[in-house]
């Protein structure tokens, strides 16, 4: 990690892989990750941590399985949402999106409980940028 300013647009332009976050910096014991997404991810849950989403470009939807039933939240550019720990969720984007995630370092993007990991997900804890 550099201690120089980083343009998120430049970071996003440096890779094309979908659902494969890049770690852009660290804050205390947390990774700040950016990712490009399109299509569906997988149902998963993080047992011990919340998951923060900020939509940088496009639109992201997140289906949630909650005590009251299943619902979907839709996030447009500039919108934030936090999935509470232990909540099963499945992010997806029909048109594609760029997102920023804030998670404890080492947190797998597929959570602790998940469906089968798709073949295109090669690293579940994020790649270093660059």
b vs e for 70-101, b when ≥16 Cβ sit within 10 Å of the residue's Cβ? eeeeebeeeeebebeeebbbbbbbeeebbbbb
Task: Decide if 128 is inside a domain.
Answer: no
pLDDT digits (tens, 9 = 90+) for 56-110: 999 999 999 999 999 999 999 999 999 999 999 999 999 999 999 999 998 876 6
Task: Decide if 125 is inside a domain.
Answer: no
Question: Encoding tokens for residue 77?
Answer: 């550019």
Task: Decide if 20 is inside a domain.
Answer: yes
Domain count, the chain: 1
Q: What's 37's domain CATH number? A: 2.60.120.10
pLDDT digits (tens, 9 = 90+) for 95-110: 999 999 999 998 876 6
Task: Decide if 121 is inside a domain.
Answer: no
What is the span of the domain harbouring residue 80? 8-116
């Amino acid at each position: 990690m550099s201690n120089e300013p980083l343009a998120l647009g430049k970071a996003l332009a440096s890779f094309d892989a979908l659902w494969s976050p890049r770690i852009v910096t660290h804050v205390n014991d947390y990774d700040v990750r950016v990712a490009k997404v399109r299509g569906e991810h997988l149902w998963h849950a993080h047992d011990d941590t919340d998951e923060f989403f900020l939509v940088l470009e496009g639109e992201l939807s997140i289906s949630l399985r909650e005590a009251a039933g299943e619902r979907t939240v839709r996030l447009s550019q500039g919108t934030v949402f936090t999935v509470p720990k232990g909540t099963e969720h499945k992010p997806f984007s029909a048109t594609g999106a760029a997102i920023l995630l804030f998670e404890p370092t080492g947190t797998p993007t597929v959570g602790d409980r998940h469906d089968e990991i798709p073949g295109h997900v090669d690293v579940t804890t994020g790649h270093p940028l660059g």
